[in-house]
Copies of this chain bind each other. A is one copy, B any other.
Amino acid sequence: MNKINVTVWNEYGDEQKEKSVADIYPNGLHVTIAGFLNKDGGINAKTALFFEPEHGLTDAVLDNTDVLIWWGHRYHDNLDDRIASRVVERVRRGMGIIFLHSAHKSKPFMLLLGTSGSLSWREAHERSRVWTCSPSHPIAKGVPEQFALDCEEMYGEPFGIPAPLQTVFISWFQGGNVFRSGVTFQRDNGRIFYFQPGHETYPSYHNEHVQRVITNAVKWANPIVKAVSLDCPNVQPLEKI
């Protein structure tokens, strides 16, 4: 059985500039994420970065990507529109994509979902509790009914997303907010998962349950069909007219 080829894309800005981030993710959070994914025998994870040519997302890289993971924050507006369109086109043809945390305002997220991605937010060192709403969803396999993250950035409702295919997780925040923190979508042949945990100043990607969710999501988003044409063919009738 072939391994699932994953590309973990990261801005890799904060880790290089902020000591508080570098202390948690010394080589960048993309390395942490690719690292725990590669512990799974069925996954082959590599990384790509904003500052690389073509943002690291050349056609050659995407040809070898079954599932793309996206972490961005500061440079959303600086992403080349052509690369955003290229990613969107790949998802439509079947590539899976997992948007993490602040990716809710990235160009590919907004182009694929069509909504604003708006939400309320707060950095207040507060506890978050991630609740599993759909315990039989493949992304929830092996994830407990509830787990706590002692510090997370608060993201709160109303969340500007279309009605999800399924709401897998909803998060509770100490300061009084709630958030649909794990939601699935599909666009043409491509499966999409958004997952809220992962503020750069907190160690969420070192949490075993967060790692389990992302690993499961990679397997769920692995395409059934890829490289399908999305043209509009002019076809002959099958029956006499």
What is A's interface to B at a CB cutoff of 8 Å? 88, 92, 94, 105, 111-116, 118-122, 124-127, 129, 131-138, 141, 145-146, 148, 154, 156-160, 162-163, 165-167, 170-178, 180, 185-190, 223-225, 228, 230-239, 241
Contact = CB atoms under 8 A, between A and B. Distances in A.
A120 B233 contact: yes
Given A170-B180, A176-B129, A236-B122, A186 B162 contact: yes
Copies of the protein in its oligomer? 4
A232 B120 contact: yes
Given A122-B237, A129-B238, A132-B158, 9 more contacts: A92-B115, A111-B114, A120-B233, A133-B159, A148-B238, A163-B166, A165-B166, A174-B237, A178-B178
A114 B116 contact: no
Nearest to A241: B126
Nearest to A166: B163
A225 B141 contact: yes
A187 B174 contact: no
A141 to B, nearest CB: 6
Contacts of A241: 124-126, 174-175
Given A141-B225, A180-B170, A113 B114 contact: yes
A94 B178 CA distance: 23
B228 A135 contact: yes
B118 A232 contact: yes
